[in-house]
Amino acid sequence: MAAVATFGQVIKHRRRALDMTQRDLANQVGYSVVTIRKVETDERRPSRELAERLAHCLRIDPEQQGAFVGLGRLEPVPATRSNLPAPLTRLIGRQAEVDLVRDTVMRRGVRIVTLVGPPGIGKSRLSVEVAGELRTVFPDGVCFVAFAPVGDEALVVPTLATALGVREVAGTPLADVLVEHLRDRRLLLLLDDCEHLLGAARCFAELLTACPELRILATSRAPLHIRGERLVPVPPLALPSTRHDPTAETVLRSAAVELFVERAAAVDPAFRLTDANAGDVAAICAGVDGLPLAIELVAARVALLSTAAILARLNHRLTLLTDGPRDLPERQQTLRRTIDWSYDLLEPGEQLLFARLAVFTGGFCLSAAEAVMDLDAATVLDGVTGLVDKNLLRQEVRADGERYADFFEMIREYALERLVASGEQDRIRDRHARYYLALAEQETDLDRLGVEHNNLRGALEWHIQRDDADAGLRLVAALWKFWHIRSHHTEASRWVTLVMHLSGEHDPAVRAHVLCGAGWIAVDRSDHVRAKAYFDESLALFRELGDPRGVAEALHGVGTMLQASGGSAEALALFEESLVLYRDLDDTEGIAWTLDHLGQSRLGLPDAAGAEALFEASRALFQRLGHAWGRAITLDHLGLADLAQGNHARAAERFGEALGLFDELANTWGIATSFEHLGHAALAAGDAARSRDCFRRSLQLTQAEADRAGIVRSLAGLASLAVVQRQSQRAAQLFGALALLAEGGGTLMNPVERAISDHLAVVHRDLDHEAMARAWARGARMTLAEAVAYATDGA
């Protein structure tokens, strides 16, 4: 182990030595594939429990297990953030362009650079190369955003947020959350394939205006027409000179021929460029205008055809083709004709599969293709393999370890045209939509749903186009928890609105489930008025249908709304009704969540001892179910009950345990909340230094996530700290700022607000009326950013 530098490298080395995939290891240790991937890349530090499980599953020598676990608990060295694709082949013949684009991006005053050119010219590959070289220049990293699968301008902002890892903030437009997240960051955004979303370019311009350190590198077939945009046209690859008789040595000096030779050798290791075939290869590259994608398509044919045969067929096709759109630019016509040529060389079965695969958006795995294509499994496997070999499909391994295939966007457009022309589009799209509806209703792995998000969007769009209310509502009912947990609140709200307006026949029970989910999405957005309306309608419909499980679930939402408005006693009655229903159904998870809700109501009455007993019962059930999220939530609530009863040491212990679970779940909200609560526990115990550290860590996390409500709560903790340190003027100014900020953001303080209220009362006693009013007024004029700066100045 000593030869490997980091814990992540140890894991990867041992896993491969044991011939295990990341999924194999994840299944053995009982954690998600994403967790294993992040540990292997040193993005996450494992808990002691996870490190010990890894030691066992990876068969670490017992004498070395202590050192192994110790290495895992060391803080990883932070790396510059980047989600750039990892190209599997080298970039050929583009050094001059790389230098030009890199220098343009870094030029003083330049904020956005757009690589423009026809499809297949290599814009995306060039941009990734440049961004890779600039990773170390931008302290906050490089973020790659693929827009090719995004067909609706309304999804541009959610797509940006997902790529950046930005969580939505209740009550704040997602575009504003993005601005807050990026405002002070020195980061490069790489926006790929923007040409079909030109109407959303205003969003990019607004980000640049609000975020002075942000730079954008975009690729598009057309300019974005943003003020200050610098355009860099991407030329074709250099072609060989035709002045002299071509030889292998002379033609290989051109980038186009070099690319052809490398790609040809990849499909036929015996291929060699010789003086005998040099003229054919040079003519082939010239015939496709030096377009990299066209060269790759043609080069793949050397496995079956000689270069002379390729040239003869290609020249014939390019000369005689008449069915391509005549209004396209010349080079775009060349690429289309090259794809036509490649398509014509496919066997009929391959042509059929090629067209049908266009139904997938953002790629597909083999099992999905087998289910949707209406062909036998062997035909699909052989066909996909053949299309990959012919460069009509590209393959990659996704974060979940599964192999996916996808089209280049221009080729998918072409394949989709073929699908429409075949008359099969409706039938294949129906099969695609049914497959992804079934997947959503059966799949509980959020990572898998995340990988398939673009295909799930495509299925939803199809149901909406067909006014298929039953399927549309079923799909939203299956997906709302995924959107809720992964903070896709803006997008979720849009889909809910669209499917709720479909007029086709549907199951009322499914509609009731959608209404309940819509209520929680509205809570996420701090729209409590709409949330209450959704929950009330859902409950009424479930009661009308006589659905006890639905009633029990909807009661949680209605009760939560009552509790949020101060009606803990009324909420208690609803939660007790829900508990009876879940017990009659013998639904252990439902019982566990209801006990937790009952505990929260008791805590609000206040009845901390009664709340603690309920939280303990809930935690025990979640423990039995192996439900990490439920355990984390109830442990946090147990800590609050301990804090309310003055047991600071036990509260800190509970919050620390919850922190460990939230960390394993990679749940930033939970981690930040745990630090905030640890700060209050330390403050109550008289440990000002520990309290300050916890509040600041909570504030850092909530700022990184642009979580307005979390920022306000963290600042309230620092205001309480100022009271304890007898800094009454400072505390009064912060409380003045927070009163307005909490109200403006629809923020509800958590159960430790009683302690905060006590500290506010101390400030009122310490300051006379005029001093209090002046400090409060100064705070009330502060923006959120100013309040953060003031709270952390000297803290």
Specify the pLDDT at position 111.
94
Give the closest residue to 237 by CA, choosing from 321, 161, 125: 125
For residue 74, what pLDDT band results from cuts at 50, 70 and 90? low
The model's confidence at residue 711, banded by pLDDT at 50, 70 and 90, is confident
pLDDT of 512 > 80? The answer is yes
Tokens describing residue 612: 């603690």
Q: Render pLDDT for 586-628 as a digit per residue (tens, 0 to 9).
A: 999 999 999 999 999 998 888 999 999 999 999 999 999 988 8
Which of these ranges, 478-492, 537-551, 611-625, has the smallest mean pLDDT? 478-492
Higher pLDDT residue, 685 or 313? 685
Q: SS3 of 115, please?
A: strand
Residue 280 pLDDT class (50, 70, 90 cuts): very high
Backbone dihedral angles phi then psi of residue 86, each to the nearest 5 degrees: -100, 100
Residues of the chain by 3-state class (helix, strand, coil), percent to 5: 65, 5, 30
Taking the C-alpha atoms of residue 442 and residue 438, their distance in angstroms, rounded to an integer, is: 6
Name the H helices within 374-527.
377-389, 409-422, 425-442, 446-451, 453-465, 469-485, 489-500, 508-524
**DSSP three-state, residue 292:** helix
| Spatial CA neighbour of 167 closest among 535, 516, 670, 663 | 670
Mean pLDDT over 525-550 rounds to 93
Q: Would you give the distance in Å from CA 157 to the centre of its chain?
A: 12
The pTM for the full model equals 0.67
**Between β-strands 403-406 and 364-365, what pairing exists: parallel, antiparallel or unpaired?**
antiparallel
How far is the C-alpha of 161 from the C-alpha of 551, rounded, in Å? 34
Upper half-sphere CA count for residue 92 (Cβ side, 13 Å): 25
Cβ neighbour number for residue 372 with a 10 Å cutoff:
24
Average of per-residue pLDDT across 468-490: 90
Instruction: Give the mean pLDDT of 681-686.
Output: 90
Q: First-to-last CA distance in the chain?
A: 42
Residue 42 has pLDDT above 80, yes or no: no
Share of the chain above pLDDT 90, in %: 41
Cβ atoms 217, 230 nearer than 8 A: no
pLDDT at position 1 = 35
Are 653 and 616 in contact by the 8 Å Cβ rule? The answer is no
Tokens standing for residue 527: 């729209």
Q: What pLDDT band is residue 200 in, cutting at 50, 70 and 90?
A: confident
Residue 609 CB-density burial (10 A; 0-12 exposed, 13-18 middle, 19+ buried) = exposed
pLDDT of residue 574: 96
pLDDT value of residue 320: 40
What digits encode the pLDDT tens for the residues 431-456?
Answer: 999 999 999 999 877 778 888 999 99
Torsions phi, psi for 324 (to 5 deg) = -85, 155
pLDDT at 65 over 90: no
Left if phi > 0, otherwise alpha if psi is -120 to 50, otherwise beta: which for 626? left
Q: Taking Cα atoms as reference points, which of 140, 145, 170, 143 lies closest to residue 157?
A: 145
**pLDDT bracket for residue 333 (50, 70, 90):** low
How many angstroms separate the Cα of 246 from the Cα of each of 273, 274, 276, 309? 11, 10, 9, 18
Return the number of other C-beta atoms located less than 10 Å from residue 102's C-beta: 18
Answer yes or no: is pLDDT of 526 > 90.
Answer: no
Task: Give the model's confidence band at 221: pLDDT under 50 very low, under 70 low, under 90 confident, else very high.
Answer: confident
Q: What is the pLDDT of residue 324?
A: 41
Where residue 45 falls among pLDDT bands split at 50, 70, 90? confident
Residue 54 pLDDT exceeds 80: yes
Task: Collapse the DSSP code of 142 into the 3-class scheme (helix H, G, I; strand E, B; otherwise coil) and give the result.
Answer: strand
Assign 706 a pLDDT band (cuts: 50, 70, 90): low
531's tokens: 């949330």
Average pLDDT of the residues in 526-530? 84
Residue 512 near residue 497 (C-beta atoms within 8 A) = no
Structure tokens at 332: 């775009």
What letter does residue 137 receive in the DSSP assignment?
A: T
Does 751 have pLDDT greater than 60?
Answer: no
- State mean pLDDT over 559-585: 92
Q: Which residues contact 434 (CB under 8 A, 6 or more apart)?
A: 471
Q: What is the pLDDT of residue 323?
A: 42
Pairing mode, strands 142-146 and 394-397: unpaired
Taking CA 156 as the corner, what is the angle to CA 155 and CA 161, rounded to the nearest 5 degrees? 100
Mean of the pLDDT values across residues 248-252?
90
The domains of the chain, with CATH numbers, are 7-73 (1.10.260.40), 95-233 (3.40.50.300), 248-344 (no CATH), 348-423 (1.10.10.10), 456-684 (1.25.40.10), 688-792 (no CATH)
For 230, phi then psi, to 5°, come to -105, 125
Residue indicated by tokens 């109501």: 601
pLDDT at 120: 82
Average pLDDT, the chain: 85
Split at pLDDT 50, 70, 90, the class of 399 is low
User: What CA–CA distance (Å, rounded) separates 347 from 106?
Assistant: 49
- Cross-strand bridge partners of residue 365: 404
Residues 6+ apart with CB under 8 A from 791: 699, 715, 718, 719, 734
Per-residue pLDDT band for 326 (boundaries 50, 70, 90) equals very low
